[in-house]
Amino acid sequence: MIEEFKKIEQEALEALRKVTNSEQLEQFRIKFLARKGTVTDMLSKIGTFPAEQKKEAGALANKIKQQVTEAFEHLKGSLKKDSKKGEPLIDVTLPGADFEIGKKHIITQTINELLEIFGRMGFSIAYGPEVEDEWHNFIALNIPQEHPARDASDNFYIDANKLLRSQTSTIQIRIMGKQKPPIRVIAPGRVYRPDTVDATHMFMFHQLEALVVDEDISMVDMKSTIAQFIGAFFGKDVKWRLRPSFFPFTEPSAEVDILFIDKNGEEKWIEAGGCGMVDPNVFEAVGIDKEKYTGWAFGFGIERLAMRKYGINDIRLLFENDISFLKQF
């Protein structure tokens, strides 16, 4: 075995003398000095020697590795110097090369624009945790145990009581639990649902939640706010509608649809989000007097708002990090 070590040393040094370029040098490194290279592997074989030879074998293996490594580094430095001789000189008096400056992602741009619009309308901003408990995500929102929205196949449960929030409505509960009316707040954030991914659905997306609670609040207040928002974000000519719906935490409830024109010029209604008057059971859960106060809330899908505004027909484009696509915005 000692002779085998010496043979490896001779083979490595002879191979190194034949190296003439960086590509050959890298091949040498992989064969001899990489983690599983011939020279490196000698150290793993020391344990197979008889006890009386281990000390000699270890010293020899380390000496060989050091010699080969030093010869490798010396040659590496020489090749690097030679490669630079043919390089053109840099004229430091010339203007520097332009670097491409990055920009905010289209989703971030959209969120910032939404916050600015609602900020002008007098809304404050709130945030909440993405990992929630069942009380905030379901119970306080008047979603009973038997409701299909609580099914394990429709949520990302972490344990029996913890899950990735399925809606930003959880932030409503947190706000109303610590702040008494009047309340006028918006809350952007990521939400998670195990939806089948297609052109309009994703398992992770962003919502913008809005909540207004005060005396004498009505559906008219909600509709006028949505109308002002849509006009400010999309322009006055964009068509939208309120469609009757049902959500456990609002009564009455509606869905907001916005007219979308696809790449073929065809018109179709796309659901942007749900809205409605806060259900009295939700007020009871957070300790707000339901006889004195009323309120409304909505939750809009931010990706769908961006898709409508910028004519994007597939939500997956927003998450694929295709630079050529993102540069358009």
The b/e string for 163-188 (b: 16+ C-beta within 10 A; e otherwise) is bbbbbbbbbbbbbbeeeebebbbbbb
Higher-confidence residue of 1 and 43: namely 43
Beta bridge partners, 213, equal 183, 295
| Per-residue pLDDT tens digits for 104-134 | 999 999 999 999 999 999 999 999 999 999 9
Q: Quick check: 161 and 134 in contact, CB under 8 A?
A: yes
Range from 10-14, 55-59, 64-68, 240-244 carrying the lowest mean pLDDT: 55-59
Helix count and strand count (H, E) for the chain = 11, 10
Query: How far apart are the two ends of the chain, measured CA to CA in Å?
Result: 66
| Per-residue pLDDT tens digits for 267-304 | 888 888 999 999 999 999 999 999 999 999 999 999 99
Going along the chain from its start, the domains and CATH numbers come out as 2-85 (no CATH), 106-326 (3.30.930.10)
Strand spans (E) along 229-266: 240-247, 250-261
Confidence category of residue 208, pLDDT binned at 50, 70, 90: very high
Q: Quick check: 192 and 199 in contact, CB under 8 A?
A: no
| Per-residue pLDDT tens digits for 243-270 | 999 999 999 999 999 888 766 777 888 8
| Per-residue pLDDT tens digits for 159-197 | 989 999 999 999 999 999 999 999 999 999 999 999 989
Q: Quick check: 229 and 205 in contact, CB under 8 A?
A: no
Q: What is the pTM of this model?
A: 0.67
The pLDDT score that the predictor gives to residue 91 is 63
Q: Return mean pLDDT, the chain.
A: 88
Q: What percent of the chain lies above the pLDDT cut of 90? A: 53
The pLDDT score that the predictor gives to residue 87 is 55
Higher-confidence residue of 126 and 64: namely 126
Cα–Cα distance measured from residue 169 to residue 174, given in angstroms and rounded to the nearest whole number: 9
| Per-residue pLDDT tens digits for 216-235 | 999 999 999 999 999 999 98
Closest by CA position to 122, among listed 238, 20, 211: 211
The pLDDT score that the predictor gives to residue 263 is 67
Confidence category of residue 45, pLDDT binned at 50, 70, 90: confident
| Per-residue pLDDT tens digits for 74-92 | 888 877 766 555 555 566 6
Residues 6+ apart with CB under 8 A from 192: 130, 155, 156, 164, 165, 166, 203, 204
pLDDT at residue 47 above 80? no
The pLDDT score that the predictor gives to residue 101 is 79
